[in-house]
Structure 1
């Protein structure tokens, strides 16, 4: 029996102008008994929204979400969630934080204490029951979060970026401890669903990886992993899987579009969350030794010592601007990218501006409006309202900030922070 079944699930939220903004569209998904599944996808793919529908925290607008063949309409007792932010109550002790779920279920105090003690020992926190969260390291705080979820003996464990707030070594240790509990049948949980940005983490843990497309979120690819656990991160099989998932995750919107205009062809395209310094830093690293213009993405990530969630937007920006080509888990400097690396600073900014106007519709739209405006200046609110037709207010603000930074660097337009107005560059105004 499937533990979770989603059929045609869709979810929308209201945009600032009152129109519906679709976050998830026609999602069909199953979580089988005895399975660990990882959800991967860039910002805007609806991963966390999907998790909250499964947990019963928010309803789906369309389609059916079911737990053990029963429709999900509210929080389900058999489903527990672990959050990225730990979400501990700072004024409660570790023991009291762990007992919260049991208290909400009406479990008597003596039973709560017994079960909390047992799970704290299981998760490696025996002796810390009387400590306050501020006395704990990040890894220990997340162990408390996991213990709080496990103490209710959940059928399904949902993990929303549960290891991403931890340093690499701590996250890997906690991940391995969780797998030891799962594979050793030391917890009663029958299924685990993980949201992650970390490809290696997903490959090391999951039986199946689901890759979501964005705007709206929908299932784009699926990778089955049949390797036994524990898995060796340096084995040929694991490295091949990591390369495969990197390739799927870094498909350029032009490649990913099945038909019609690609995602990046309109002003409401979700510009990648990266800045010019990171774009040029990765470009310089790619052009230099030992890569000399060609790199395997996992190896480039190791050299850069940056997590996947920071590098993926940079890869996307390089491909969008025509400075690099990403294909099947590899990245290659384009001839234009090589010219960019070799150019002096003035020429780099000219080239950046040219590529921006050619490949980023929002930037071209702003520039055209400024050229047609007699005063050569316009309020940024005009473009924020445009973006809010596609995104939530916070994400619209982020996308506009990226467009402003890129445009200023390429001298396509200027920006006055005091008046919140976009302007034509000073030289052209004069």
Structure 2
């Protein structure tokens, strides 16, 4: 409901203000609305995790961000097509929206399955990660070529790979892939903001016919509509849903007013809006300039800047003032996950003990390791009395860190003496780093 309804509501509200107040033609006003309608969950998610906001709210913000991007960009495509082509039919647009989304999802599933099978048979980490980088393009290009939603195709393929990945991708590939994707995510977001910064002077110069006070007033008006529409949605639609759906499962999903206020204030705009604005064509099919393109770019940047600065900086204070915290729920969830995995490990060790190829001493060492881990985790979770498990674990970690440090120093010395190559030194040090990272388990 949020990923579709709120996106459409924001687009329409912004379009009305953009047309009536700013003077943008209806077609261009709807484009502006589509551009600024999707949220960027990155900033809000970082703040919420740092302040231990309940997982339910964090998941809601991040899940909304994933799907409202797709909805907004499908609507954006329809709106831009109407401007460029010069014609618009509501019935045709609605049918196109549904068909484009359905076709995009179908193509994404097919591409996801194909690339999952390819990666399943690709043991080399570098090659597998390269294939993962190409998956998005492989989903988007054919979907876009047939007129379907390329964004939904990419999202669907990504979700499919995310569900199957842990069972088909090796640990080495996953470890390396996390770092690659984190860096790429940062670089792509940074590049988008740099591009807007480079264009901003040209955009402002092209708007020299308007006074600074007029532009600031328009920017505040559009930004205000974006923020208020989201707040109004979160304080009206839940009550309508309650009237229409009185199932017990729906009542269990209800949020308190303070939770809805946090969700409503977490609607910062970011990379998707930037990319959509920068992708606006320069001219229509008839060769005329795209109506008010520079003004749309300026207002998009203003909305992104104002929401990131005002909402982003005030969100931590709002969360603290409302006293929203999961009170250790995230840590408890992680402990349950580790305990579940440890119990599964012990069950598998018992099954292995019956195999002829296993050695008794090996099985006993493995069982002792996981039994101790289970007791330590149970003590942390409060299920059993802490008989010094945590203190012993911390002492063990400290001792291992000292030993690993000595090994690193020895490797560096061997490299200085020319006994080993630089490549060998880094390969062994990487293994030591991985061993140290496992100490927190």
Q: TM-score, normalised by structure 1?
A: 0.28
**Structure label with greater radius of gyration:** 2
Which structure features the higher share of strand residues? 1
Which structure features the higher share of helix residues? 2
Q: TM-score, normalised by structure 2?
A: 0.28
- Greater RCO (Cα-Cα under 8 Å, separation 6 or more): 2
